[in-house]
Amino acid sequence: MSAGGSGGGAAEAIPQNKLIAFGAAGGLIAIYLSYFMVQFAGPAFSFIGALGAICAIVWGAAAVRRVASYGLGTGVPSIGMLALGMGVVATMFGLAIGGIAGPIVAFVTAMVIGLVIGALANRIIGMGIPIMEQSTTEIAGAGTLAIVGLSTAMTGTFMFDVVLTEIIATGYIALIFIVAGIAILHPFNANLGPDEKQDRTLTTGFEKGAIAMIMAGIVSAVSAGASAAPTIVIGLAIWYVSFSQYRNYVVRDAYDVVGTGLLPKEEEESE
Amino acid sequence: MAGVLAANFLYVILITLGGVLVSGSVHFVPVGGAPAAMAQATGIGTGTVQLAAGAGLTGLVTAGAMLSLTDSMVLILAAGMVGAMIMIGVTMMVGNLVYVYGVGVPPASAKVDYDPITKDRQDIYVSQGTEGHGLPTVSFVSGIIGGGLGGIGGALVYYSLMSIANGMASADFVGLAAIFAVGIFFVNAVIPSYNIGGTIEGFHDPKFKKWPKAVVTSLIVTFMCAIVSVITIGGL
């Protein structure tokens, strides 16, 4: 499950275009697959929506990595919050007016808002980041797909009447907001530095996405349209694999890994 | 869709105004980011977005509480304003206690030689190699103003969204309006944070003069978000 690449430490072992395809196509296909499988085969397949969210989260983390490498002038978390701020507005709009085309309407709306923010950030605020327009567009799209994917995993559908009563009125939307936001912003924030590697950062994205999936599974326990057990079990499996892989990358990239033993009991002993 | 938009166009404008107020208010709040967390820059030791979110969401909660008691727009905006001012004021006061009694540094601004409000000398108290530390009086006052403006902005967005006629059950409506307000709020907190480059001391900081750029950006972006949210809520 790792987004490994060659591991050679090139700035981009996986080109961004492949990640865009992975996130956008993978996310949308998984969301629709989840919806139709739940309709025709039963609520056990609601977990596919969370897989779509993981695709989108990894894509978003890759886009954050690219744009934040230029230096935003403020912390990396800001752009994750921007992604989910744009994403949640676009998602509500898209799902409310889109019907069966809801996820696509939401996705396109988010990307339009993202493009405008990116263009204004460069033209008016003068951030001077050459890929700003593309990155805010990508991040908004990824944030939206993460929200829709997790909502689908929680309820088994993205139809707005169900999402409204089971996700928004209950307040789970706030959980989705912050979990998906952290999953998108945290990978680069945790790995940034001169030795940052794409595969290690993206593996963190998978790991954070798996945590979001487990949470979606717990929430879906109270929903009639979705089933909790497959989502939680598959989420735990993805988390275990990606976290082990992440640890392998950390060991690979570290100069040395040594045990320090237990902390000394008295402060003097440490001197 | 066009009918909904025409009927609620006043609210589109009010939401946009609220977003712009939030965006402008962030320039008043003394944000020091990570350097301030190490007492190496003047301001509160966290990011703009976190502070704006904290103050704005407190404003939203207090405005929401007031909304359950009255329909008066002035009272609701005042509740939002006071809520956000208390939140940011307490944050700054506790921060200053930590800086003074924990870290052991005097509050001092590195951007001005004399505090514009108290006329106290600043430059000789700034530790070498730092950009000031703690929250001097001018930053504290500026932060209170920023909290107030942000609270009014957040409350205005929420009040406008809650005023749109629709056919939803009340619990669904509150949830939807709240999450729209939060989304619009976060976007408008991030835009000025990019404008000031992460840190600002308050209205006496030279970076404060950049506020029109953030306000114009927020005006355009919030207008789009306002149209989208009004169509969504009004159409249900």
A74 interfacial to chain B (CB closer than 8 Å): yes
Inform me whether the pLDDT recorded for A2 exceeds 50.
no
**Which pLDDT score is estimated for A270?**
52
Distance from CA of A87 to the nearest CA of B (A): 8
**Which pLDDT score is estimated for A140?**
95
A117 interfacial to chain B (CB closer than 8 Å): yes
B193-232: per-residue pLDDT in tens? 889 887 899 999 999 999 999 999 999 999 999 999 999 9
Structure tokens at B36: 């301030």
Structure tokens at A218: 């717990």
Q: If you search the block for the tokens 């005023």, which residue do you land on? A: B163
Burial class (CB in 10 A: 0-12, 13-18, 19+), A147: buried
Q: Where are the domains of chain A?
A: 16-251
B190 with A79: Cβ contact below 8 A: yes
pTM for the model: 0.90
B129-145: per-residue pLDDT in tens? 898 999 999 999 999 99
Average pLDDT, chain A: 89
Burial class (CB in 10 A: 0-12, 13-18, 19+), A153: buried
B182 with A73: Cβ contact below 8 A: no
- Bridge-based pairing state of the strands B132-133 and B108-109: antiparallel
Residue A110's contacts (CB-CB under 8 Å, 6 or more residues apart) are: A86, A87, A90, A91, A94, A140, A141, A143, A144
A180 interfacial to chain B (CB closer than 8 Å): no
**Which pLDDT score is estimated for A9?**
34
B77-114: per-residue pLDDT in tens? 999 999 999 999 999 999 999 999 999 999 999 999 99
Chain A 186-225, residues with CB within 8 Å of chain B CB atoms:
none
Distance from CA of A244 to the nearest CA of B (A): 31
* Nearest-angstrom CA–CA distance, A30 and B170: 33
Q: Cα dist. A212→A159, A189, A233, A234, A238 in Å?
A: 21, 17, 13, 12, 11
Share of chain B above pLDDT 90, in %: 66
Inform me whether the pLDDT recorded for A4 exceeds 50.
no
Residue B228 neighbours by CB distance under 10 Å: 24
B25-58: per-residue pLDDT in tens? 999 999 988 888 888 999 998 888 888 778 778 8
**Which pLDDT score is estimated for A267?**
65
**Which pLDDT score is estimated for A11?**
66
Mean pLDDT of B52-70: 85
B217 with A117: Cβ contact below 8 A: yes
**CA-closest candidate to residue B143, choices B23, B51, B29:** B29
Check: complex ipTM more than 0.95: no
* Nearest-angstrom CA–CA distance, A18 and B116: 55
- Helix residue ranges per DSSP H, chain A: 16-41, 47-68, 77-98, 102-120, 132-155, 160-163, 172-191, 198-220, 228-253
Distance from CA of B214 to the nearest CA of A (A): 7
Confidence label for B176 from pLDDT (cuts 50, 70 and 90): very high
Q: Which helix (H) or strand (E) holds B65?
A: helix B48-67
Inform me whether the pLDDT recorded for A211 exceeds 90.
yes
Residue B196's contacts (CB-CB under 8 Å, 6 or more residues apart) are: B26, B27, B31, B48, B207, B210, B214
